[in-house]
Structure 1
Amino acid sequence: MKRILIVSGHTDLNQSFANRIILDKLQSILPQAEFALLDKLYPDFCIDVSAEQQRLTGADVIVLQFPFFWYGMPSLMKKWMEDVFVHGFSHGSTGDKLHGKKLLLSFTSGAPEEMYKHGGLQNYTIEEFMPAFKQFAVLCGMEWQGYVYTGGLSYANRNDEEKLEQMRIKSITHAETLLKQIELL
């Protein structure tokens, strides 16, 4: 059986709508997976590097779950990566601890998917934001497994019951799609 690690990089899941629903759904359908909720573990951004490296080496599949903030990952997940994925562990001549592990991204955006196109408000496709993530996987010897992405999950809609219900359905569908991706690995 694959050992699955799901790392949540949201900086405040209590304020999240979509990422919280996605993670709750995943926890109910993947009880054997390990979940690292960075905002709960490290609200002060002081990362326990040894513990996190142990989590990573114990996993076969690593899923990074996060909201797409300012065209990338949130600050807490970025700090986690900077502290944990160091030369000699994840890369470099002796940094082979993650070789062969499968990396899958799972992320959401407030902007609808149709805004991520040439000539759209975001001016680029979501795929055009992926090279840094792909290269991260390559550098660490991990196998890039792509991503599951859902847009149109804006916190700004939290006071509109109809939009909240639509976002709830989209979030659950996202989690189910992610599960299917994981099962294929």
Structure 2
Amino acid sequence: MALIILAHPDIDKSFANKTIIEELSKISPDIEIRNLVKLYPDYKIVAKEEQELLLKHQTIVFQYPFYWYNMPAILKHWFDVVFEHQFAYGSKGDKLKGKNFVPSFTVGGSEKEYYTLGEHHFRVDDFCKNMEQTAYYAQMNYINPVYFHGTSATAGYTEDEVISKAKKHAQRLAGLIETLK
């Protein structure tokens, strides 16, 4: 089935990402979930172990909150350690060729803030070019990101609103994973 690389720095305080993971576990109990913060609180990621898991799955989903227009530090570090030369790229680095690469994340602000004249000046997809290029460089199939806006309490969203959106997100993501089998 699919492998979920969960990269939330504090999942216990999350409404959105925590709900997504809980719902995915109910919808598709055969999905394997790797909570990077729980596994590697010291950031000492074991490349070989992670690589072996990547090899076992056709679809890899990267689940995280959108932080400062990017991914959390632990996920960036995970890529730095796991996507090694001659594994993910290089003359013999074709181990991930043809696997599905799915970014899945939550965005705190509203959609209207992410456009040319909005507070953040760019669409969210514009901030995903690094993920897209990583997938292409590793010869993976980049799947357009699955995400939703409005997860921040500081932006005025309630816990119930966020949980409702997160449940819908999990349904969409599970449906996508099903089509990628």
Under a length normalisation based on structure 1, what TM-score does the superposition of the two structures give? 0.93
Q: Give 1:150's aligned residue.
A: 148
Whole-angstrom distance in 2 between the partners of 1:30 and 1:42: 25
Under a length normalisation based on structure 2, what TM-score does the superposition of the two structures give? 0.95
Matched, 1:28 2:23: no
Q: Give 1:124's aligned residue.
A: 122
Whole-angstrom distance in 2 between the partners of 1:156 and 1:55: 37
Q: Give 2:98's aligned residue.
A: 100
Summarize the Cα distance change of 1:48–1:124 in structure 2 as closer, same or farther, 3 Å threshold: same
Q: How many residues align?
A: 180
Task: Give the 3-state SS of the residue equivalent to 1:99 in structure 2.
Answer: coil
Counterparts of 1:51-70 in structure 2, within 5 Å, are 51-70=49-68
Deviation at 1:155, TM superposition (A): 4.4
Matched, 1:46 2:41: no
Comparing 118-127 with 8-17, which one deviates more in the overlay? 8-17
The answer (yes or no) to whether the contact 1:100–1:141 under 8 Å persists in 2 is yes
Runs of 4+ deviating beyond 4 Å: none
Deviation at 1:10, TM superposition (A): 0.8
Q: Residues 103-125 of structure 1, C-alpha deviation per residue, up to 9 Å, x if partnerless? A: 11110011112211110011001
Q: Give 1:167's aligned residue.
A: 162
Whole-angstrom distance in 2 between the partners of 1:150 and 1:93: 37
Q: Residues 73-127 of structure 1, C-alpha deviation per residue, up to 9 Å, x if partnerless? A: 0001111111110111100001111000011111001111221111001100111
Matched, 1:184 2:179: yes
Q: Which runs of 5+ in 1 are unaligned?
A: none
Give the one of 108, 111, 132 matched to 1:110. Answer: 108
Deviation at 1:132, TM superposition (A): 1.2
Whole-angstrom distance in 1 between the partners of 2:102 and 2:153: 24
Q: Which runs of 5+ in 2 are unaligned?
A: none
Whole-angstrom distance in 1 between the partners of 2:134 and 2:91: 16
Percent identical among aligned pairs is: 38
Q: How big is the alpha-carbon RMSD for the aligned residues of Structure 1 and Structure 2?
A: 1.3
Task: Give the 3-state SS of the residue equivalent to 1:7 in structure 2.
Answer: strand
Task: Give the 3-state SS of the residue equivalent to 2:104 in structure 1.
Answer: strand
Whole-angstrom distance in 1 between the partners of 2:154 and 2:29: 31
